[in-house]
Amino acid sequence: MSEADATQQEYPVLRGLPVDMCIFTVATESRKTPQDNIDKRTLKSYPDKHLELLLVKRISDTEGDKWALPGGFTKIETETIDAAAIRELKEETNLDASVTQLRAKPVGDGIYLEQMKAYYKPGRDDRGPTPTVAYVALVHEALLANLHAGGDAGQARLFRVPENSAHPFVCHTENGTTTVDWSELAFDHAEIISDALKFVQNQILTTTIAADLLPKEFTIAELHQVISAVVPSYGQMTTNFARDLLKTKTRNSMLKEALDEHGELKKSSQYSARPAQLYRFNEEYEPWLSIYPRP
């Protein structure tokens, strides 16, 4: 046996490295009944918001008929892992990301994409030893209107993310309600999703990626809603939230007041009778976090 043949036998040629995509959005749902926070004079209120995750229904021989994360293999001869993630995002959501959106700092245009972690353990895939690289994407809900399944998937649906593993993922459609328990997900995707939730919750609290889930101009209450949708334990909004957000030294300049063409403050009455100030994220702001005090 030649040295080349021996090397090939010892190190089999891969057909590609898999990437799996945890694609999240914060969905908006109109309130069905009046709530305490509705302005009784106008019956206006902020809509409900909750976190959703894109899952696809597999139709292949491996883990067929199970719900799973969208993903696929890199084109091993021509494609980097990041390029494969961008392509998979396009194939599953019809969205065009870019390399700049793979950075930790979001660009605030509705798409945030970042590599999270590599996974491998013996037996995770019946087809043989197969690692995978997981990516997390945050996508503004308005950009997910044209979902379609690709590759070895028959359906693509957005499922509401439960607050804990004791509850299933839920998807409401015109044809009824679909629920998926964590144990029913394909491969080790329950573990990947659990890690992705912790990852995105940390990111929403320590970076400005909320910008990709909000309109360019938003109220403080809308920002709080997005944070609470991703981190259910965050707590109810108080007047201290707005004060501390805008006045604390370490957050100074994170938000800018929105101004019209005349330099006047812009306000919104969409959800309340009393106009609320609109803000924008400052694209130049860099979060500065440390367990140590500043010198």
> Both tokens of residue 125?
């895939």
DSSP assignments along 206-252, one per residue: HSSGGGGGS-SSB-HHHHHHHHHHH-GGG----HHHHHHHHH-GGGT
**Residue 117 banded pLDDT, cuts 50, 70, 90:** very high
The residues with which 186 forms a beta bridge, in sequence order, are none
Residues 214-262 pLDDT 10s? 999 999 999 999 999 999 988 777 778 888 888 776 677 889 999 999 8
pLDDT of residue 137 exceeding 60: yes
% of the chain exceeding 90 in pLDDT? 41
pLDDT of residue 19 exceeding 90: yes
Which CATH class for the 14-206 domain?
A: alpha beta
Residues 162-175 pLDDT 10s? 988 899 999 998 88
Runs of H (alpha helix) within 70-164: 81-93
Q: Return the minimum-mean-pLDDT range out of 103-112, 203-212, 261-270.
A: 103-112
% of the chain exceeding 70 in pLDDT? 81
Structure confidence at residue 106 (pLDDT): 47
**Residue 143 banded pLDDT, cuts 50, 70, 90:** confident
pLDDT of residue 107 exceeding 50: no
More confident position, 294 or 218:
218
Average pLDDT in the 57-68 region? 80
Q: What is the residue whose two structure tokens read 């390029």?
A: 83
Q: What stretch of H or E contains 30?
A: none
**Residue 102 banded pLDDT, cuts 50, 70, 90:** low
More confident position, 269 or 20:
20
Q: Are 288 and 205 in contact (CB under 8 A)?
A: no
> Both tokens of residue 193?
């999703």
Structure confidence at residue 272 (pLDDT): 72
Domain boundaries of the chain, sorted by first residue: 14-206, 216-281
**Residue 67 banded pLDDT, cuts 50, 70, 90:** very high
